[in-house]
Each structure stands twice: as C-alpha cells, then as structure tokens.
Amino acid sequence: MTETGTRSIRVLGGRELCVWVGGGDSERSVLVMHGMPGSGLLYRRWIEDAAARGIRLISYDRPGYGRSTECPGRSIADCAADVKAIADDLGVERMGVWGWSAGGPYALACAAMLSDLVVAAAVLGSMAPWDAPGLDFFGGMGQGNVDEIELYFSDPTAARKKNMQDRDEVLATTVDQQTQMLATLLSATDAEILTGEFAERLLRTEQNGLARGDQGWWDDGAAHMSPWGFDIGSIRVPVKVWHGRHDRFSPFQHGQWLANHIPGAEAALSDSDGHLTLVTKESATCTTGSSTTSSWTPARRVAGEVRGRGAEDHRGHQREDPRTPTGRRPLALGSCSRLTTSNVSSGSSANSIQTDPSGMSCCTAFSRKGGRSTSRRPAIAFHATEHLEERPRASGNLCRRLSCS
C-alpha cells in the first residue's frame, strides 16, 4: 500500500495541523519528522517498507509549512504539544519517532518530553545545538549554509528578505536544477544519488511545504539557532544516531556530539555515507567506537533493549519525568512563545542546551505512482516498533539548507 491519507486537526490555540497518515497497523505507529524546508509528504519507498512490516507511518506539516497554521516564535520543544495532540486524535498510545536532518532535534524533543508516549527515537543526519559545548559547528559545512547563518546573526532583516527570495527560488526550481541549487552542500557521495524518484520527492516535499509562504522555513531556522527548550541529557528512552562522514548539510561532528551527549545513545556513524544517502540506502557500514557493524538490517533496534521494564528506562534506571525538572516550565500545550534561557534547565555543562505547485493539496489523499528507482529500498528507523511490542502501556531560514527535507 503506497497511499497516504491526510487529515486536519485543531490544536489548542485554534491552530490547524495537516497530518499525513500511511496504511498499516495503528498499534505499530512511527512518526516521521521532516527536514527544512519541507512537509509531511512521505517518500513512497518509506511507505512501502513500512506497510510491508505492518507499520503505520505518520507525519505532519510543522507550523507554517504546507497547510498547517503558522506559529511564529515557536521553539523546538513546542513540537511536543503538537505531537501529543496528533497522537490523541489518532488514538495512539505509544509510538516510535525518527527525524531526518532538521527533523532530528524535533524527534529528540519528543523523546525527552513525551516519555509516556515515545518508546524509542532515531535521528539521521541531525544537527546539534547551536551552542553545543566543544562543537565546531561550521567545520565541514557547505559554504551556502555558513553564509546564511552568519547573515542571520549579523543582519536579521536582510536574512528574512533573502529567505523569501530563496522560497521563490525553490518554487521555480526543476528537478534537473536541484544539483546546481545545492552545489555547495552536496558531497560527491550525495550528488551521485540526487536523481530520479528520490530527487523528485525531495523537491516536491519542499515545494509543498513552501506553497503558501516562507513562515515555516523562517521559524524552523530561528528555532534551531535559539535555545531548544529541553535538555537532551534528560532523555530516558532508547535513541539511535545515524550520521555520514560526507555530510555537508549537517557535518559529521554534529552526529558525533549527539551520540556522545544523549544518555545511552547507540551510534551508527558511517564512513561511506553523506546526508542524502542515509535515507536512500538499505545497508551501510557503520563505525561505532572501535567496532564496525551493518546497522540497516530492518530488525535492528533504535538503541538498547526494552523488555517489560515498566517505569524503568532502557538502562535499568528508575525513570524520572523529564518534562518538569526544577527550573523548567511544564509542557505548555499549544504554546508558540520562544523559551528563554531562564526557562531551560541548566543541567550539566555537557548536556545543557542554551540557546502545491504539483497540484497536490496537503489535505486530500494522494498516491505516488511511477517507475522504480535504482536505489535500494530503505529500511530506515522502523526498528522502533520492536519497542512498541515490548514496553508495557503507560497511563528563519538561517541557511540555504541547514538540512534537506
């Protein structure tokens, strides 16, 4: 089954969210966080792979993208309230979450703030916090992204004007022009696979997300360059971190930093992958410490083992509620206000986070048809569903592409 239905749900504050729902077992749900710019439009091969395993994929247009109401000033952490509303609307009591690229931090927010709902998470080619201690944020990053981030901090007004111009450029771009548009960000590894159905899907999801304006893109970028609103050190569910050494969107050291600072995270750091190849290949050789493993086997877990531990985390420790530690506000449903540094738990120094053009309507059902790509079918992070079966139920565009969709 390759069809994805869409529905519009209302969240607190009167905003509307456009939610994309694939086929599969509602008891085996996995939420996908899209990149930037982007939308909830899911890659056909992901849907096929999920359906073959009886898994239901869910995604949504983040505020300001596609058919979702904008939410200026939102933080990364604010996504948790929207995800909870989506789960309630769909009757989902537990789910896995994975985010590719700029969707990675949002997946981590859900892992940290929705531990009663999210049983496991994965991030692929994710960026790390802007002010992450000890991180060389720009090292190895494509010059286009570096220039955009610097412009944002030096002249936000000019950055916003350029963001609107970039949105127009994306809408006018054809599939054949993508490589040129992303020239400074594409390693040779990524440029090789930016063709065919995958290239079409990548452009289509961006254009769908930007069809009604650039607000979502701008707010996404601003959220990534501001305090995230949660402490990754508070995460108590299994997390797996995938990253490729040839990634120029979110450089390799971002994945290394996340793997080293997320408690109990399992790292799958590939010497052969870039940014785009992470989601177009079924297998990759990954180096974790001194060991080398193949980590794309569908049955592999996101991280660790969870077998009936109830209130314990995946390391056997008693789980604390990560949403209301001393110094951090409780989860504010429907909030769109920026968190300030004083709202964020300081934590340890190591873990502290401070800082359609195609004729397709997002809220109508759609079907992707066409020839098969030469890429191997991706197995991605549907491994999280093993945790679904094992855990008991619990009551400003700052860069041209900080990461692709």
What is the rounded CA–CA span in Å between residue 207 and residue 387?
34
pLDDT tens-digit series, residues 178-223: 999 999 999 999 999 999 999 999 999 999 999 999 999 999 999 9
For residue 26, what pLDDT band results from cuts at 50, 70 and 90? Answer: confident
- Among the ranges 164-168, 277-281, 308-312, which has the highest mean pLDDT value? 164-168
Neighbouring C-beta atoms of residue 139, cutoff 10 Å: 10
Give DSSP secondary structure letters for 47-96: HHHHHHTTEEEEEEPPTTSTTSPP-TT--STTHHHHHHHHHHHHT-S-EE
Q: What is the pLDDT of residue 18?
A: 97
- Residue 404 vs residues 25, 190, 206, 274, 390: alpha-carbon distances, Å: 29, 11, 9, 12, 33
User: Residue ranges of the domains in the chain?
Assistant: 3-390
What is the rounded CA–CA span in Å between residue 80 and residue 111?
9
pLDDT tens-digit series, residues 96-155: 999 999 999 999 999 999 999 999 999 999 999 999 999 999 999 999 999 999 999 999
Please state the pTM of the whole predicted model. Answer: 0.76
The one-character DSSP state at 325 is: -
- Among the ranges 198-202, 299-303, 384-388, which has the highest mean pLDDT value? 198-202
Average pLDDT, the chain: 76
Give the position of tokens 């009936």.
308
Domain 3-390 CATH superfamily: Alpha/Beta hydrolase fold, catalytic domain (3.40.50.1820)
